Amino acid sequence: METKRKSKTQFAVCINNEGYPASLEVGKLYRIIHDKTSEAHGYLRIVDESGEDYAYSSDRFFPIEVPQKLKKALVTATV
Q: Give residue-wise pLDDT tens across range 33-56.
A: 999 999 999 999 999 999 999 999
Q: Are 55 and 45 in contact (CB under 8 A)?
A: yes
For position 37, which CATH number holds? 2.30.30
Q: Give residue-wise pLDDT tens across range 14-33.
A: 999 999 999 999 999 999 99
**Domain enclosing residue 39, as ranges:** 11-77
Give how many domains the chain has, as a whole number.
1
1 within some domain: no
Please report the DSSP string for 22-53 in residue order: TT--TT-EEEEE--HHHHHTTEEEEE-TTSSE
pTM for this one? 0.79
4 within some domain: no
